[in-house]
Structure 1
Amino acid sequence: MKLSFPHPIVILLTFILLAGASSYFIQSGVYDRVLDLETGREVIVPGSFHTIEDQNASLYDIALAVPEGIILGADIVVLILLLGGAFYVIEKTGALQEGVESLIYRFRTKKYLLLYFIGFVFAFCGATIAMQEELIAMAPMFLLLAKKIGYDIRSIIALALGSALIGASFSPVNPFGSLLAQTIAELDFQEGLVFRLIFLIAAIFLWCTYHIRYGKLKSESSEVPKLTPKKISVRHSLILIFTFGGIGAMAWGIVYKDWGYNEMSALFFVVGVSCGLIGKLGLNGTARAYSAGFSEMIYAGVIVGLARSVYLVLQDTAIIDPLIHAMFVPLESLPVQLAAIGLYISQALIHIPVPSTSGQAVLTTPLAVPLMDLLGVSRQIAVLTYQYAAGMMDLISPTNGGMMAIIAAAGIKFNHWISYLWKSWLILMGLGLISVLIALFWFT
């Protein structure tokens, strides 16, 4: 029998089982936590780690974690369904295809400018609002774009999702990453603003250049269709205005109104229905298109929920804190440069069991900051090692439900994604490490 690479759901179920099995080999333990009034979050008290009664996960607990993880991520699942349904409606009106074809025709002689534009736009979205799950519904648009310009779909996803995640990783103003960590570390974000901006621009330019250069299909069978002038009708123009206006309203709501997933879901439900009616689908046609969109997105929603289940098992068995403690304590005896490298690697590994970037900031920054003080280096190193490593791991960690759902929606197998991405990922991880080592001297 021919062996095949495991399905994404099988991969995540395996991680859930491994998380449960780990509880039998790792002694449960916790750090004491206090409420940080400035961030409104509970943070770890350095030096307070202690073991507690072992809390091993039974088979019953592991099985129960599957539905509980999906329920825990219900707000994201609902967003995926309503956002995905809206984009499915928009696609059915024909406006999306017309818009993409018109855009490609305008850049027909300079496609690389179009791809750089896509990369930098999504990088901006990632840097400011940490966009990720919102891209799941855009998979049909990315597939259409890849087909029309003769590029590997993986390169287009890398330019969209990858740029957004790298933007979030290297950003000096990501409220869920660098800003949160700097607040916990009691740092003024302006102190490292210029330094981070330099490496943010370098990272995005390097990432986009790599995938624009190596993403073009080379096979003769993938000939690009002949491009013809495409004028967007008034009706389709209105639909596209509503669509991108909705994306702009979502960004505004997140930044200025503290919107959560429910507000975003409601917004795109209204956008989807409005676009269906403008596109002459009618009430019944819009409802049918929405239903079809739901069926397309359920799989992506389950993927996100299962990723939550992994963390849920680790949290319930109280083995996350022991893992962090085991990785951080040995760094105290290392020379400064080696300690910085070790912290960078530790933060990358920690992001597998702790896939939430904001959650990881709350868990690790209070421990990394005293370590930096002990070594006599700037607390900025604690923030940089966290934000670069955690953000970059979002591109390859199977416990990142958003990434897994996006590549699944685009029809990309996880092993094919990794086989395409690993070189560019290592380059950016290297850039992040170089930034950390330079920061040792920059922030003296």
Structure 2
Amino acid sequence: MKEKKEKWYKRLEMPDAFVIIFSIVLLAAVLSYLIPAGTFVREEVDGVTRVIPGSYTYVESNPANVLDLFVSIQKGMIDTANIIFLILIVGGIVKIIEYTGAIDAGINVLIQKTKGRYMVLITLVALTFGILASMGLVANAVIAFVPIGIALARNLKLDAIIGVSMIYLGYYAGMVAGIFDPVVLVFAQTIAELPLFSGMTLRVFIFIGMILSVIIFTNRYAKKVKNDPSKSILGNRPFNDDEGITNIEPPKFTVLHGINLLIFVGYLGFFIWGAFTRSWGINELVGVFLMMGFTVGFVSRISPNKFVKIFIEGARGITYGALVVGLARAVVIILENSQILDTIVNATLVPLQAMPTYIGGLMLFVFNLLFNFLVTSGTGQAAIVMPLMVPITDVIGITRQTGVLAFILGDGITNIVAPTSGVLMAVLAVGGVKWTDWLKFVWPILLSWIVIGTLALLYALVTGYGPY
């Protein structure tokens, strides 16, 4: 009897990301029968669609049937096709660059220069991406830098989670604080009629707290893995494309390696320039990566047939993560098509007007933390909730700057775990990390960020956090 019990227990395991996300899609379909349909009237101001406060009305129910449930997956794949193909193409092109040995050789030189001090490297990389993101730089291009983090972690004999963490969490610490964020922060402050980039001082302290938590937690985990590789969350396979073999001698750095690295950095710099001066997005990032790959292939004299073979191998290795992105989008499609998304917003936000000042202010933060699982786009979330939050902040007696702070913190923090976030799932796909494994690692950082956000909001509520 005891033996049977042990066998049954061993069969229990964490559900795959596909199972978890499909369960959320199924839950959204069930909710479409339980939550009444409704919608806000929307208006376009300066080319941006916004919700009109007080315009919510009930409409005829349109619950999702069984066919709708499965069609939403196909529509999700179509809606996120640009991200899916970005993942596949980045995976293929990075495999080309890795094939030349340039990344491993370059990182080996970096490790030698720092005498293998992995904690110093993790700290510098995370801090660099945090500062860049706090100024609105990098954006979706963070996906393209993840292979560098993975290669660095591999050469340091760590694991893929550390490679993703130092890039993505460093980036998101700056993104959440949004000290000079020209997109989400500016959009939210414009709706709230606040001076652009105002309230900067408090956001600087938020950034310091968040980036320190990333550096501390990532270095603690790295030390544990360094001392005992079996302590890695990824088990005996620290990287997706090997079986735990990390003792391969990296190639000696050559002139050709240097040229290929300059090509890599040059093209990424070219994209960042275009993103700020020409409003380039994901499609242009894909184009830049293809140009980068062709240039590296030509310089390295990789034959066309060999190029295609390596590219397909790289793309195939991250197909799992690419498809997860499309599945996650199906959740939002179900909610939008059944017209219950606006009902959820209306039923949650409007009652906050009757709450005491401090509780109401904190509840705005909690609402945005949870709503971000449904709408992970910062501008999309701002267009829906900020026009409603502004009058609520006026009614409950908190400053509009505090309302904006509650929004940007809520919008950003849960993006580091939300399976509905296209960017997160793309990053994990490129890094070869399963969402379930990532969740095991990142939850202490998530909790620390929520605590930092709560303390910042309490300070804002007590001091009357104003425009400047």
Q: TM-score range by the shorter chain?
A: over 0.9
Cα deviation digits, residues 355-379 of structure 1 (max 9, x gap): 2222111111111111111123211
From the superposition, tell whether residues 15 and 143 of structure 1 become closer, same or farther in structure 2 (CA, over 3 Å): same
Task: Figure out how many residues of one structure are paired with residues of the other and give that number.
Answer: 442
Partner residue, 2:259: 238
Moved more, 298-307 or 83-92: 298-307
Q: What is the alpha-carbon distance in structure 2 between the residues aligned to residue 332 and residue 338 of structure 1?
A: 10
Equivalence map 1:160-179=2 (5 Å): 160-179=167-186
Q: What is the alpha-carbon distance in structure 2 between the residues aligned to residue 423 and residue 145 of structure 1?
A: 23
Cα deviation digits, residues 123-164 of structure 1 (max 9, x gap): 234334475654555555434322332434323322211121
**What secondary structure sits across from 1:23 in the alignment?**
helix
2:363 to 333, 342, 347: 342
Q: What is the alpha-carbon distance in structure 1 between the residues aligned to residue 303 and residue 132 of structure 2?
A: 33
- Report the alpha carbon displacement of residue 202 of structure 1 after superposing the two structures with TM: 3.1
Partner residue, 2:277: 256
- Report the alpha carbon displacement of residue 320 of structure 1 after superposing the two structures with TM: 0.8
Moved more, 360-369 or 4-13: 4-13
- Report the alpha carbon displacement of residue 260 of structure 1 after superposing the two structures with TM: 1.9
The 8 Å contact of residues 91 and 430 in structure 2, kept in 1 or not, is answered as no
**Is 1:34 matched with 2:43?**
yes
The 8 Å contact of residues 27 and 319 in structure 1, kept in 2 or not, is answered as yes
Partner residue, 1:92: 99
**Is 1:443 matched with 2:465?**
yes
1:281 to 298, 302, 306: 302
Q: What is the alpha-carbon distance in structure 1 between the residues aligned to residue 245 and residue 90 of structure 2?
A: 30
Cα deviation digits, residues 63-105 of structure 1 (max 9, x gap): 1111111111122222222222211110111111111211111
Q: What is the alpha-carbon distance in structure 2 between the residues aligned to residue 221 and residue 213 of structure 1?
A: 13
Q: What is the alpha-carbon distance in structure 1 between the residues aligned to residue 220 and residue 295 of structure 2?
A: 39
Partner residue, 1:5: 14
Equivalence map 1:15-414=2 (5 Å): 15-37=24-46, 40-108=47-115, 110-129=117-136, 131=138, 134-136=141-143, 140-216=147-223, 217=225, 219-220=227-228, 232-414=253-435
**What secondary structure sits across from 1:35 in the alignment?**
strand
Alignment TM-score, normalising by the size of structure 2: 0.88
Q: What is the alpha-carbon distance in structure 2 between the residues aligned to residue 389 and residue 98 of structure 1?
A: 41
**What secondary structure sits across from 1:24 in the alignment?**
helix
The 8 Å contact of residues 97 and 144 in structure 1, kept in 2 or not, is answered as yes
Moved more, 241-250 or 282-291: 282-291
Letter in 2 for 1:156: G
**Percent of aligned pairs with the same residue?**
29
Q: What is the alpha-carbon distance in structure 2 between the residues aligned to residue 331 and residue 98 of structure 1?
A: 56
**What secondary structure sits across from 1:215 in the alignment?**
helix
Letter in 2 for 1:13: F
Q: What is the alpha-carbon distance in structure 2 between the residues aligned to residue 77 and residue 388 of structure 1?
A: 27
The 8 Å contact of residues 402 and 460 in structure 2, kept in 1 or not, is answered as yes
Cα deviation digits, residues 169-219 of structure 1 (max 9, x gap): 111222332122112222112321232223223321332123213332155
Letter in 2 for 1:86: I
From the superposition, tell whether residues 67 and 175 of structure 1 become closer, same or farther in structure 2 (CA, over 3 Å): farther
The 8 Å contact of residues 87 and 426 in structure 2, kept in 1 or not, is answered as no
Letter in 2 for 1:271: M
Moved more, 49-58 or 70-79: 70-79
- Report the alpha carbon displacement of residue 119 of structure 1 after superposing the two structures with TM: 0.2
Alignment TM-score, normalising by the size of structure 1: 0.93
From the superposition, tell whether residues 299 and 414 of structure 1 become closer, same or farther in structure 2 (CA, over 3 Å): closer
Q: What is the alpha-carbon distance in structure 1 between the residues aligned to residue 74 and residue 116 of structure 2?
A: 50
The 8 Å contact of residues 56 and 317 in structure 1, kept in 2 or not, is answered as yes
**What secondary structure sits across from 1:161 in the alignment?**
helix
Q: What is the alpha-carbon distance in structure 1 between the residues aligned to residue 65 and residue 361 of structure 2?
A: 38
**What secondary structure sits across from 2:43 in the alignment?**
strand
From the superposition, tell whether residues 173 and 221 of structure 1 become closer, same or farther in structure 2 (CA, over 3 Å): closer
Q: What is the alpha-carbon distance in structure 2 between the residues aligned to residue 7 and residue 226 of structure 1?
A: 30
The 8 Å contact of residues 149 and 224 in structure 1, kept in 2 or not, is answered as no
Q: What is the alpha-carbon distance in structure 1 between the residues aligned to residue 157 and residue 45 of structure 2?
A: 51
Gaps of 5+ in 1: none
Q: What is the alpha-carbon distance in structure 2 between the residues aligned to residue 175 and residue 20 of structure 1?
A: 36
Cα deviation digits, residues 357-403 of structure 1 (max 9, x gap): 22111111111111111123211112111111221101111211332
Cα deviation digits, residues 307-337 of structure 1 (max 9, x gap): 2111111111111111111211221111111
Cα deviation digits, residues 219-252 of structure 1 (max 9, x gap): 5457998999975211111110111112212211
Q: What is the alpha-carbon distance in structure 2 between the residues aligned to residue 85 and residue 71 of structure 1?
A: 21
Name the Cα RMSD after superposition: 2.4
- Report the alpha carbon displacement of residue 270 of structure 1 after superposing the two structures with TM: 0.3
The 8 Å contact of residues 126 and 165 in structure 1, kept in 2 or not, is answered as yes
The 8 Å contact of residues 172 and 189 in structure 1, kept in 2 or not, is answered as no
**What secondary structure sits across from 1:43 in the alignment?**
strand
